Structure 1
Amino acid sequence: MALDPSAQIASDQEGRVDLVDRAAIADSPYYNPELAPVPLEGRTWTTYNFFALWMGMAHNIPSYTLAASLVALGMDWVQALLTITLGNLIVLAPMLLNSHAGTKYGIPFPVFARAFYGVRGANLVALLRAFVACAWFGIQTWVGGKALHVIVGRLAGEAWTGAPVVLGQVWTLWLCFLVFWAVQMLVIWRGMEAIRRFENWTAPLVSVGFLVLLAYVAVKAGGFGPILSEPSKLGWGPDFWKVFFPALMGMIAFWSTLSLNMPDFTRFGGSQRKQALGQVLGLPTTMTFIAVVAILTTSGAQALYGEAIWDPAELASRFDSTAVVLVALVSLVLATVSANLAANVVSPSYDFSNAFPRRISFAVGGLITGVLGVLIQPWRLISDPGIYIFAWLGFYGGLLASVAGVLVAGYWVLARTRLELPDLYLSGRGAYWFTGGWNWRAVVATALGSLLAVGGAHGGPFPADGLIPPLKPLYDYNWVVGLVVGMAGYLVLAPRKEQA
């Protein structure tokens, strides 16, 4: 498809770009209205919208379990807080760098990826991101369903909690899981605007449940003194550092998915300053808050019950007060719905739509996400803190980091933030068609970064000596390895004219 000269570019004083005439791309098989650039008048999200988005995404049960799992692995509250805070500050950098293109051009992540992987090749990384999101959707839905099960159990009694076991769980837990799943599907079916409104009104409420948990545990433990005095089982010697670096990679990996697909949200940004400020205020502060609450609560539970209970639903089920359980877990259920919709449904909905723009809408993509999220069997992924951090988070973090490296190198170093907007939707020719719609250089750089980052995966389901034994030492630094190698590889492979 040839580029129609009438497809003119418009820009505003904020530097945001739009297409005046979309007729040249409207017939392309790689175009649909949801993948198209957001019109300038539609880019209205404020600093608060982005802050509320992060508050909604960060304040959820898996964020809590992420911090609590570090205590379960033997860290004290200082070590756990240091690990999480550092991880969030590190991942914020590529997140902001990739967010820029969304705001400037109004495009979602899979369309942005076309500029470097090719109009067709972008499906490779988009679907990789999508399948990770499907697993996260399933995890969030499972833990939210467990919280709902505890809530109903407190009201219905033994008949509910002691129901017959089916496939390893009481059937009432499976019912809560499916109900929780269905509610989320109804919201996503209404589209992005419904998600934005949901995030705005739930954001101020989602902290309540975690604070109730902390307050109850602190009172029962006799204040924060016993909690803060819980010693580290690792010390500050070799035992700590052996856990610290893989755990840090896991903390970074937790949001490495969003470091790729934040353009899905920043495409609605009112300005670069609004989206960047909203994220800088939102991610580190909200994750640090939830980390503090989770660490103190888990440490308190350890002092009270003699074990580090990292699942808040399980912890709440041990409380004597039904009122406390209800207030805490209702808030946590709302928090988990809010986070799941934004972090784990929006991206794969766009990604699946990008693969088949004419057949899969945003809503249908969300439904596919929900179905795959169940088929992945998320209850297995979150069954053990070691597998959760070192196997699940570490492995996919290394894969996605290599993609982030290619995008940052391509957009900021090679393209210098300049993209040919109409060409992102053209088939057969255009700046991003490359060879048959694929840019082999980006694919090779990603494959190399991924191989070095996760080739030595060990522990959990992986061999003790690593998948590829010589690469085992690199796996403890998987996210950094993937990012650096992906970035360097793409810069080395890029043709001279692309670097000019």
Structure 2
Amino acid sequence: MVTTELAEGSGSSATTSSADVHVGSDYHPSLYNNDLAPLVKQKWNWYNIFAFWMSDVHSVGGYVTAGSLFAFGLASWQVFVCLIVGIVIVMLLANLVAKPSQVAGAPFPVISRAPFGVRGANIPATLRGLIAVAWYGIQTYLASDAIVVVALKLWPALKPYSDVSQHGFVGLSTIGWGAFILLWIGQAFVFWRGMNAIRKFIDWAGPAVYVVMIVLTVYLVYKAGTSNIDLTLGSIKYSGWGTVGAMFLATSIVVSYFSGPLLNFGDISRYGRTMSDVKRGNLLGLPINFTFFSILTVVCAAATVPVYGKLITDPIETVSRIDNTFAIVLGAMTFAIATVGINIVANFISPAFDFSHVAPQKISWRTGGMIAAVGSVLITPWNLYSSDEVIHYTLDVLASFTGPLFGILVCDYYLIRHQHVVVDDLYTMSSKGRYYLHQGRQPEGRDRDRGRWRHRPGDRADPRRALQDGGELLLVHRCRRRSPGVLPQLAVLPRRQPGRQGDQQLRARARGHRGRAGLTPCGSGSSTPTRRP
């Protein structure tokens, strides 16, 4: 059972003019602003969640990533299976990460205060913000390619300026820079209008791409002829476990692609009216929507072989080869607009929350978003998505950071806290708060009211310990299940003091506890629980 507690009798304070948020009387100014405070009115329904995933799936990045799976040498049907298996995993993970934010009405950085501490949460927030900046730049670059295609089709004289070797700067051509900056400004404009404008934008952006992709697929199938479409495009012949290994890698690429939106999904689910609305939107927007997306991707890619003589996985390049100028302009602009929509929702909103979380009273949501926008240019994202190999490497690196943050948050919420969130304690600097640290750990080894061991990751003088504490939190939960008697004694062990003397003191203290309680190592068997001395 999920329980969410708010302080009784606490209403909105004078520090906020919005009736949509709750501000407790003991909320510390350094821990909240109007954008970070918990929502009271959550207005998004299942279609808004569905439209979010529709825009995410049908972005240029989604098609490019899905098409890159053919680089493994898999047949089309094998790529299709990998896409479906991967998206089912994504849906299950999305449901897990959505609940704490939807229940509390708070974004990811605030929810992270539970496992990391009210100050230590700045670490995962900053890491996630940097990851989102990378994704924001990548998606902006991919969408800008569509603008380049339109410009070259309408003004062929600009073609020399699309050559990086002749007219380029840090790996991007002159016309590429123009398209990138144009989209950069357009996205910033939509973002500046606020969440309501963003929600309305994505409600139609995703379906618009559906229409274009259906028309494009029908056109290619008509040009190729159904009898000429071969779904066995794999260039490498796998057998036995080799096929399984290649498909496993392809599936992991799908999950890695969605690792960013997954980690950011709490920022969206907090607006959901109910968890049922969120789950329904996830079901329609991920496995069902993605199945149709996968069919379009595989058939469209397979049809490019007989039509153009080679496999083309980038829909922008496919559209650019159409003879009709109007079709090129319409298709390319639709892809660009749809990618702008998901880029704002998935990769602009999250770093805005993250950077605002570091200094809520000094960095507003809009300021945090503009910091992310500037950073997206400095990382030169076109160099991160330049080929299939680089795409896979980029996804692996980004997922290696998002995976641990996702795992710690989900495990803490479901396994350690059993879906119990005290919202007001996420915003207080009181030493009595559940998510506040005293000298690195909660001094009481057991919760006297509940009779259970309780651990609070740290935040005060050294917030770097928050990551260590998050890992310890999961280890301790594993120990409690296998050897319950270990925990009361572990809870009172002090942190190691610097130097050899501190090590000796800690080992002596640990030997003393094991000698009195007869404790065994974690997982080696059960032991008799003992009380604290």
Q: TM-score range by the shorter chain?
A: 0.7 to 0.9
| TM-score between the two structures when normalised by the length of structure 1 | 0.83
2:21 touches 2:37 (CA, 8 Å); kept in 1?
A: no
In the alignment, residue 215 of structure 2 is paired with which amino acid? V
In the alignment, residue 293 of structure 1 is paired with which amino acid? L
In the alignment, residue 284 of structure 1 is paired with which amino acid? P
| TM-score between the two structures when normalised by the length of structure 2 | 0.78
1:201 has 2:204 as partner: yes
1:491 to 477, 486, 491: 477
Deviation at 1:303, TM superposition (A): 3.4
Alignment of 1:273-422 (within 5 A): 273-389=276-392, 391-422=393-424
Deviation at 1:260, TM superposition (A): 2.4
* Structure 1 pair 326–90 and aligned structure 2 pair: CA distance change class (3 A): same
Deviation at 1:225, TM superposition (A): 4.5
User: 433-442 or 273-282: which moved more?
Assistant: 433-442
* Structure 1 pair 287–369 and aligned structure 2 pair: CA distance change class (3 A): farther
User: What is the SS of the residue equivalent to 2:208?
Assistant: coil
Corresponding residue for residue 261 of structure 1: 264
**Aligned equivalents of 2:187 and 2:21: distance in 1?**
33
Alignment of 1:70-219 (within 5 A): 70-160=69-159, 162=161, 165-167=167-169, 168-219=171-222
1:441-492 C-alpha deviation (Å, 9 max, x unpaired): 861276x7xxxxxxxxxxxxxxxxxxxxxxxxxxxxxxxxxxxxx9953634
% of aligned pairs identical? 31
2:121 touches 2:466 (CA, 8 Å); kept in 1?
A: no
1:43 touches 1:267 (CA, 8 Å); kept in 2?
A: yes
1:214 touches 1:297 (CA, 8 Å); kept in 2?
A: yes
- Structure 2: gaps spanning 5 or more residues: 1-5, 13-19, 441-457, 481-485, 492-528
* Structure 1 pair 159–443 and aligned structure 2 pair: CA distance change class (3 A): closer
* Structure 1 pair 217–357 and aligned structure 2 pair: CA distance change class (3 A): same
Corresponding residue for residue 479 of structure 1: none
1:419-461 C-alpha deviation (Å, 9 max, x unpaired): 1211101125211112362687861276x7xxxxxxxxxxxxx
* Structure 1 pair 487–303 and aligned structure 2 pair: CA distance change class (3 A): farther
User: 162-171 or 396-405: which moved more?
Assistant: 162-171
**Aligned equivalents of 2:117 and 2:476: distance in 1?**
14
1:208 touches 1:328 (CA, 8 Å); kept in 2?
A: no
**Aligned equivalents of 2:332 and 2:237: distance in 1?**
32
Corresponding residue for residue 470 of structure 1: none
1:437 has 2:436 as partner: no
2:76 touches 2:232 (CA, 8 Å); kept in 1?
A: no
Corresponding residue for residue 37 of structure 1: 38
1:247 has 2:287 as partner: no
1:7 touches 1:24 (CA, 8 Å); kept in 2?
A: no
1:298 touches 1:308 (CA, 8 Å); kept in 2?
A: yes
1:237-292 C-alpha deviation (Å, 9 max, x unpaired): 45433432222222111112232222211111111111111111112222332222
* Structure 1 pair 493–347 and aligned structure 2 pair: CA distance change class (3 A): farther
In the alignment, residue 428 of structure 2 is paired with which amino acid? L
User: 147-156 or 108-117: which moved more?
Assistant: 147-156
In the alignment, residue 417 of structure 2 is paired with which amino acid? A
1:81 touches 1:292 (CA, 8 Å); kept in 2?
A: yes
User: 152-161 or 232-241: which moved more?
Assistant: 232-241
1:63 touches 1:291 (CA, 8 Å); kept in 2?
A: no
**Aligned equivalents of 2:258 and 2:29: distance in 1?**
33
In the alignment, residue 175 of structure 1 is paired with which amino acid? G
**Aligned equivalents of 1:126 and 1:396: distance in 2?**
15
Deviation at 1:305, TM superposition (A): 3.4
Larger Rg over CA atoms = 2
**Aligned equivalents of 1:222 and 1:342: distance in 2?**
39
* Structure 1 pair 345–314 and aligned structure 2 pair: CA distance change class (3 A): same
1:92-141 C-alpha deviation (Å, 9 max, x unpaired): 22221121112211110110010111111111111211111111111111
Corresponding residue for residue 462 of structure 1: none
- Structure 1: gaps spanning 5 or more residues: 11-17, 449-485
**Aligned equivalents of 2:264 and 2:145: distance in 1?**
28
* Structure 1 pair 187–366 and aligned structure 2 pair: CA distance change class (3 A): same
1:60 touches 1:332 (CA, 8 Å); kept in 2?
A: yes
User: What is the SS of the residue equivalent to 1:419?
Assistant: strand
**Aligned equivalents of 1:144 and 1:342: distance in 2?**
15
Greater helix fraction, Structure 1 or Structure 2: 1
User: 190-199 or 152-161: which moved more?
Assistant: 152-161
**Aligned equivalents of 1:445 and 1:80: distance in 2?**
40
Count, aligned residues? 449
